[in-house]
Amino acid sequence: MRDDDDGKYRERIAATSRLFRRRPHDFIAQMEELGFTYMIDDNEDAEEIAEENGARPATKDQINLVSWLEGTETPDESLLTLWRAETGRPDSPVALWRRYFRAGNPQLKKLISFGLDRTPVDSDLLAQLAFLHEFLPMPKELLLRYTRACNEERDPRRFAILARDFDDAADSFGYDALAALRERHAGDGMKTAIIENFLIERKAAENENVA
């Protein structure tokens, strides 16, 4: 992969994380380990909901996506391509799409699943599935999708992204993804090294919180 392509890939991943992951579960867990109780900011949620309710599609493509999300049709490749393009834009209307995540929209789940059936290692779609899980709990599907992605990904950098995201997402329901991945990929030197590094980092963070 060329340097410019690599940069664009990392920027897209970062943008997806900002768009679809509001409350990292590791941050919440760390607060609770220190004796604090995590409270949802009602004012923040109210502001976001008001923003979402006021959001309207501004282009033909956005209108087509909204129409599909509010319908019952089956997803196809053209719709998936449109969704990728719209959610990947720097000026994507975040509040508009977030509204459908918050509602646990079944069409949105079908679209994400459709994409992951075709590209199981797509970290953008997996991040979206993890965000949808916050409003429409589906731990079994999340485990199956991330486990398959980690099984199939052979690029070290992309595997690292998947493993870390898997650990963050699964922590919401108490599943130790890194421990499970270490056992599953015990015979793969590359993956084991990445997982062990993450486990070391996590242990160091836990020790800092205790100190």
Residue 91 has which token pair? Answer: 């000026």
First and final C-alpha spacing in the chain: 42
Please name the helix (run of DSSP H) or strand (run of DSSP E) that holds residue 121, with its range, or none.
none
- Give the integer Cα–Cα distance in Å for 177 and 101: 24
Longest dimension (CA), the chain: 55
**Overall average pLDDT of the 74-92 stretch:** 94
pLDDT for 43: 58
pLDDT in tens, 93-117: 999 999 999 999 999 999 999 999 9
What are the contacts of 5-13 at 24+ separation with CB within 8 A? 12/88, 12/124, 13/123, 13/124, 13/127, 13/161
Q: Tokens 């607060």 appear where? A: 31
pLDDT for 8: 47
- Give the integer Cα–Cα distance in Å for 20 and 88: 11
In Å, what is the CA distance from 89 to each residue of 83, 138, 178, 197, 210? 10, 27, 31, 33, 41
What are the contacts of 53-58 at 24+ separation with CB within 8 A? 53/99, 54/95, 55/93, 55/95, 55/96, 55/99, 56/96, 57/93, 57/96, 58/93
Residue 112 has which token pair? Answer: 């994400």
The most confident of 49-53, 84-88, 105-109, by mean pLDDT = 105-109
**Overall average pLDDT of the 29-51 stretch:** 61
pLDDT for 29: 47
pLDDT for 22: 41
Lowest mean pLDDT among 10-19, 94-103, 137-146, 168-177: 10-19
Q: Say if residues 111 and 83 touch (Cβ distance below 8 Å).
A: yes
For the chain, the domains span 3-151
Tell me what percent of the residues of the chain surpass a pLDDT of 70.
78
pLDDT for 42: 53
Burial class (CB in 10 A: 0-12, 13-18, 19+), 49: middle
What lies within 8 Å, CB to CB, of 38 at 6+ separation is: 28, 31, 32
pLDDT in tens, 147-184: 999 999 999 999 999 999 999 999 989 999 999 999 99
Q: At what angle do helices 123-133 and 156-170 cross, to 10 degrees?
A: 0
pLDDT for 19: 53
Q: What is the mean pLDDT of the chain?
A: 85
